[in-house]
Amino acid sequence: MSTESTESTNAPNFIRNQIRGEIESGQADTIVTRFPPEPNGFLHVGHAKSICLNFGLAEQFGGRCHLRFDDTNPAKEEQAYIDAIKDDIHWLGFEWSGKVRFASDYFDQLYAWARHLVEQGKAYVDDLSPEEIREYRGTLTEPGRPSPYRDRSNDENLDLLERMKNGEYAEGEKVLRARIDMASGNINLRDPILYRIRHASHHQTGDKWKIYPSYDFTHGQSDAIEGITHSICTLEFEDHRPLYDWFLDNLPVPCKPRQIEFARLNLNYTLTSKRKLKLLVDEGIVDGWDDPRMPTISGMRRRGYTPAAIRKFCEMIGVTRADGLVDIAMLYHAIRSDLEDNAPRAMCVLKPLKVVLTNVEEGHEEVYEVPGHPAREDMPVRKVPLTRELWIDADDFMEAPPKKFFRLAPGKEVRLRNSYVIRCDEVIKEDNGEIRELRCSIDFDTLGKNPEGRKVKGVIHWVSADRGVPVEVRLYDNLFQVEAPSKEADADFLAHLNPDSLITVQGIAEPSLADAAPESRYQFERVGYFCADRHASRDGHLVFNRTVGLKDGWARIQKNEQGQKKG
């Protein structure tokens, strides 16, 4: 399947254009990309962009894309994260080439290459503490200083490295470092760490290893082992590229992948720091990694986003080298566009107000067959019953309405969606003045036609009080109140949480929703798009999560911009 859509093929994608040029000129034949997540958390919307890019390029150009877990830090990694990441990729509609790969598959080879660097005098065992290593490394304006252990002999370094591997030293007691250039203007080249001692069991290798390679030492060589042709990374790895090239130039690797960097996705009102997202989970601020307020792929899935919409969004924003803040309204637009075409309709009242139809007999019921979707004949019709007592939304009634309020008011008429015109004749209140119910009457001559001699502008949704289905509705909004929560310091970003990011109401839905399957999506007419919660919607307890409202701010922005260009 192609990642391109007819709407967004003009979105910039310099990597796609570059690879197309390489293939057309004969510089490249088969391309091999990879998606290399660290299994230390769930994937978020920024990872979705990388997934769509790497897998999409492989699909478009007839190549392959590997899934490889860069699992070099067992202290922070879990099998649960591995399983969730695989599930996310499949849910988005992609399939990796061959087996699932792990950097740990290459630990033996990486260790052999580390020994090779020691034998060549290009790596050494250092006894400095982590704090001393940072001090000796220097700053952006001052060069580093060589470690006093930098000139150990190759034989001594080989012996110490083997003893590190055998678990003879405590964590932090020694490290293996590359011997490159402590005066380099690129701090990454100032004798970077290749191996650390970690007495931790690994989810793939068990207790075999007492030392683990650094991410920087692992990443490029793993690409080389797998025959990756295009190693696509975000811009923060640009300064690491000279180090990766140094490793590839100084080791007998089978090939030299080409690294290309692109700008990561920065979405306003959205946090994409995995460490801060984990803090939200650990502190119980959200209900797990798949909380619908989280920007994780599993959270977006639970909220009701569709794979097609996420892929469309990633295509819309394009791939460039320019950092910028993407308006979340673009994401909402992509979701609405997909759900507008594909979500069946239903009626659900979120703020129930009872209506009694006084000229309808007790026990009366008439059932309307209503299209499941106004433009989709392939969707089954739904049966909507009308009874003497109904629920309408409290917001659709006002005792003293303003001039342009076209909904229900005392003495005023409104049409029940797909049914009759009704008139409010009486307002019944509690002793404290709260409205208990409305007494209304039906004009039985208005089913499917306008009333004689008068115009009724308002149409409201409703649900039978006798046949309606109780539902819990969770109204989700942005988790943060500031545009760029990732820029806030650790001590400050929690202060910008949106206290109204989740509001739960008890609503009444039409009976067609009684059998809603988990993750089924609907447009609640006049309200928004909702999804049956994948966890809670069971045992007769229906929970719907609001995916997005009906108003499309991004479409309005685009329309205004087009109008300005024409003007």
At residue 421 the predicted structure's pLDDT band, cuts being 50, 70 and 90, is very high
Q: How confident is the model at residue 6 (pLDDT cuts 50, 70, 90)?
A: very low
**Largest Cα–Cα separation, the chain:** 103
Q: What is the mean pLDDT of residues 285-304?
A: 97
pLDDT at 5 over 80: no
pLDDT at 10 over 90: no
Active site residues: 38, 264, 274
Q: In terms of Cα–Cα distance, which of 53, 62, 65, 47 is closest to 3? A: 53
Model confidence band, residue 389 (pLDDT cutoffs 50, 70, 90):
very high
Of the chain, the percentage scoring pLDDT greater than 70 comes to 94
Pairing of strands 365-370, 382-387: antiparallel
How much is the pLDDT for 121?
98
The pLDDT value given to residue 415: 97
What is the spatial distance between Cα 403 and Cα 441, in angstroms, rounded to a whole number? Answer: 23
Supply the pLDDT for residue 487.
77
Of the candidates 313, 389, 327, 381, the one whose C-alpha atom is nearest the C-alpha of residue 352 is: 389
CA distance 242 to 251: 14
pLDDT at 108: 98
- Is residue 7 very low, low, confident or very high in pLDDT (cuts 50, 70, 90)? very low
- Of 9, 7, 22, 88, the C-alpha closest to 49 is 88
Q: Is the pLDDT of residue 537 over 90?
A: no
Q: What is the pLDDT of residues 98-143, one digit of tens each?
A: 999 999 999 999 999 999 999 999 999 999 999 999 999 999 999 9
58-108 pLDDT, tens digit per residue, is 999 999 999 999 999 999 999 999 999 999 999 999 999 999 999 999 999
pLDDT confidence of 563, banded at 50, 70, 90? low
pLDDT at residue 540 is higher than 70: no
Q: Is the pLDDT of residue 1 over 90?
A: no
Tell me the pLDDT band of 536, cut-offs 50, 70 and 90: confident
H-type alpha helices, 491-532: none
pLDDT at 558 (0 to 100): 62
pLDDT of residue 11: 84
pLDDT at 203 over 90: yes
Least confident of 194-203, 285-294, 530-539: 530-539
pLDDT surpasses 90 at 3: no
Res. 486 pLDDT band, cuts 50 70 90: confident
Over residues 413-430, mean pLDDT: 97
> Would you state the pLDDT for residue 566?
59
- Between CA 497 and CA 269 the distance in angstroms is 10
pLDDT score of 199 more than 70: yes
Burial track 450-473 (b if 16+ CB lie within 10 A, e otherwise): eeeeeebeebbbbbbbebbbebbb
Comparing 50-54, 303-307, 403-407, which segment has the lowest mean pLDDT? 403-407
Say what the pLDDT of residue 484 is: 87
Calculate the CA 467 to chain-centre distance: 37
Angle between helical axes of 328-342 and 553-566 (0-180°, round to 10): 110
Distance of CA 262 to the CA centre of its chain: 19
Per-residue confidence band for 45, with pLDDT thresholds at 50, 70 and 90: very high
Q: How many CB atoms within 10 Å of residue 151?
A: 10
In this predicted structure, the answer to whether residue 549 has a pLDDT above a threshold of 60 is yes
Q: Which residue has the higher pLDDT, 490 or 361?
A: 361
pLDDT the model gives residue 324: 87
Residue pLDDT, tens place only, 144-198: 999 999 999 999 999 999 999 999 999 999 999 999 999 999 999 999 999 999 9
Closest residue by Cα to residue 224 from 247, 192, 196: 247
At residue 490, the pLDDT reads: 65
Taking the complete model, does pTM exceed 0.75, yes or no?
yes
